[in-house]
């Protein structure tokens, strides 16, 4: 088993429960960690024998571009997309952080973290 990690992917998106968040948008940071069997790629040195991290990035990007009210919903869509596009993935860990959330005070970010395991 191997882990492929994409740290600090930055997106400007329109997720949030407040009307202003849906109109103005803000910056989000996504960290994605997937586990998959990398033994073939370790021997072959061929991209098609592993999970292409560029493909993972584009899966996350596509879901970040769709408005949602909740980070939980965005995370589930990302997990579903990754599982559909990369069936060899056995585990996913994702953190989605919203920078400067509208909470009535100064705060760097709020984050949602979840995991998925293939059963």
* Options 27, 61, 91, 98, the catalytic residue: 98
Nearest Cα residue to 95 out of 70, 73, 67, 115: 115
* Structure token digits, residue 2: 């191997």
98 flagged as catalytic: yes
- The residue written with tokens 């940071």 in the block is 29
Nearest Cα residue to 38 out of 85, 82, 2: 2
What residues are labeled active site? Answer: 98
């Amino acid at each position: 088993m191997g882990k492929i990690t994409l740290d600090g992917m930055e997106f400007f998106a329109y997720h949030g429960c407040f009307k202003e968040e849906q109109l103005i948008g803000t910056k989000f940071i996504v960290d994605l960690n997937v586990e998959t069997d990398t033994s073939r790629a370790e021997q072959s040195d061929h991209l098609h024998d592993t999970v292409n991290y560029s493909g993972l990035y584009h899966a996350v990007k596509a879901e970040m571009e769709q408005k949602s009210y909740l980070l939980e919903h965005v995370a589930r869509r990302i997990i579903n997309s990754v599982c559909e596009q990369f069936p060899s993935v056995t585990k996913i860990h994702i953190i989605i952080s919203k920078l400067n959330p509208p909470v009535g005070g100064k705060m760097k970010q709020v984050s949602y973290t979840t995991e998925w395991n293939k059963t």
